[in-house]
Amino acid sequence: MGEMKSLQMGVIGALFLSVASSVSIVICNKALMTNLGFPFATTLTSWHLMVTYCTLHVAYKLNFFENKTIEMRTVVLFGLLNGISIGLLNLSLGFNSIGFYQMTKLAIIPFTVILETLFLNKKFSQKIKFSLFLLLIGVGIASITDLQLNFVGSVLSLLAIATTCVGQILTNTIQKRLNVTSTQLLYQSAPFQAAILFVSGPFVDKYLTRLNVFSFHYSPIVVGFITLSCLIAVSVNFSTFLVIGKTSPVTYQVLGHLKTCLVLAFGYTLLHDPFTPRNIAGILIAVLGMLLYSYFCSVASKSKQVSSDSTFLGKDRDTTPLLGQEKENHHEAKKLDKHSPV
């Protein structure tokens, strides 16, 4: 029971860290991009990952965690896949309306459920599916304002959905099957994610913004916000791997939509962004879906724990010898000891 409580506390801590750091980086990046005019999102993400790797390398040298070797091909392909998914999401936003981009992000949950059901034989109860449906409807009502379709944007969105789903499923699968921690996996994969975004980022950003990241005027306040964004990103990247490893890709996506609702509420309360009854209704429906999802997952987890405990107790009863059997086994051991050669 003590281990179960510590595991639950670990999950709660990971979820809180993920929400706090993600909302913080959204606020920081909004100030950087909107107020200070720095629009280079893909290049900024590559800097985030480089700072994350450097921070983890220092932590490793100071013995904060042990490194565990993972097959190089696995790490390289995993890192490149995650880097590509980030680039595709940014391209999807550039080629589509904001409403269609939000639809793309919403589609990640059902696609993840389908992939895990087909390839990993994971079962999702009807109650959990209903709670996810409520969540998606609520976030859709709150955040989607316009839907403009185009062929290139649609293809990019489909590729972004596929790579993001597979990348997040692999984040969970690699940690569990290879018995590595989130820190170890992030430490080994971050350089490859950073590399592909560092090379492609300036080109992607130039195509989307018509501006050159190298000719941008970096004032002290811009440099300060970039530094702050990179430092917060260390926590964001770490908590992302931590949450997916401790829970599941679907739970991480649910958490992501909670962040969306919190950012919308923050924008209204502190930045005085326009807010309508539709936004409020959508957020309330989404929160209801999240609460139901959390409750149904908790019930399912407890039932699994009870069944595993009962199985363990049953095995314990079968394998624990009775007092008479213990004595008999003791006499048999003595006989064998007498007849065994010295």
Burial letters 84-103, b for 16+ CB under 10 A, else e: bbbbbbbbbbbbbbeebbbb
Q: Are 110 and 249 in contact (CB under 8 A)?
A: no
Q: Are 267 and 31 in contact (CB under 8 A)?
A: no
Q: Identify the pLDDT of residue 302.
A: 81
pLDDT in tens, 155-211: 999 999 999 999 999 999 999 999 999 999 999 999 999 999 999 999 999 999 999
Residues 268, 273, 275, 281, CA torsion sign: negative
CA distance 181 to 61: 17
CA distance 202 to 305: 49
| H or E stretch at 155 | helix 151-177
Mention every residue, 6+ apart, whose C-beta is less than 8 A from residue 74: 174, 178
Q: Are 28 and 221 in contact (CB under 8 A)?
A: no
CA distance 212 to 68: 39
Which one-letter DSSP state was computed for residue 213?
Answer: G
Q: Identify the pLDDT of residue 261.
A: 83
Mention every residue, 6+ apart, whose C-beta is less than 8 A from residue 159: 88
Residues 280, 281, 286, 289, CA torsion sign: positive
Which one-letter DSSP state was computed for residue 320?
Answer: S
Q: Identify the pLDDT of residue 331.
A: 47
Mention every residue, 6+ apart, whose C-beta is less than 8 A from residue 313: none
Candidates 260, 232, 240; CA nearest to 25 is 232
Which residues, given as ranges, of the chain have pLDDT below 50?
Answer: 312-313, 315-342
Q: Identify the pLDDT of residue 132.
A: 95
For 181, counting Cβ atoms within 10 Å of its Cβ (0-12 exposed, 13-18 middle, 19+ buried), the class is middle
Provide the token pair at 111.
């696609």
pLDDT in tens, 203-241: 999 999 999 999 999 999 999 999 999 999 999 999 999
